[in-house]
Amino acid sequence: MEIILTDHAIEKTVQRGTTEDEVIYAILEGVDIPAKKGRKAKEMVFNYNKEWLGKFYPQKKVLAIYVEEYGEIVVITVKVYYGEWS
């Protein structure tokens, strides 16, 4: 199944400090989480060990919200959280 990121999702990917590769990996290997309005979502925690906006974070969580239509996965938006998860 092909994975497509909308223009909005690409913009948020860059703005929130992740990459398209991480978003795709989160969809392929991440954990399913609840989403609203008939959408689907997956998230994955990545080691980060860098500063983001002046603060050091050991990990970041990438959350992709998407729909499946016409045999494709269409990523609607991407959220990124910084912190530490076990």
Given this model, what pLDDT does residue 4 score?
Answer: 97
Distance from C-alpha of 86 to C-alpha of 28, rounded to nearest angstrom: 20
Given this model, what pLDDT does residue 1 score?
Answer: 85
pLDDT classification of 18: cutoffs 50, 70, 90: very high
Given this model, what pLDDT does residue 69 score?
Answer: 92
Going from N- to C-terminal start, the domains of the chain cover: 2-83
- CATH class of the region 2-83: alpha beta
Given this model, what pLDDT does residue 44 score?
Answer: 98
- Cβ contact 52:78 at 8 Å: no
What pTM, to 2 d.p., does this model score? 0.93
Which tens digits make up the pLDDT trace of 19-76? Answer: 999 999 999 999 999 999 999 999 999 999 999 999 999 999 999 999 999 999 999 9
How far is residue 78 from each of residues 8, 26, 37, measured CA to CA in Å? 9, 11, 16
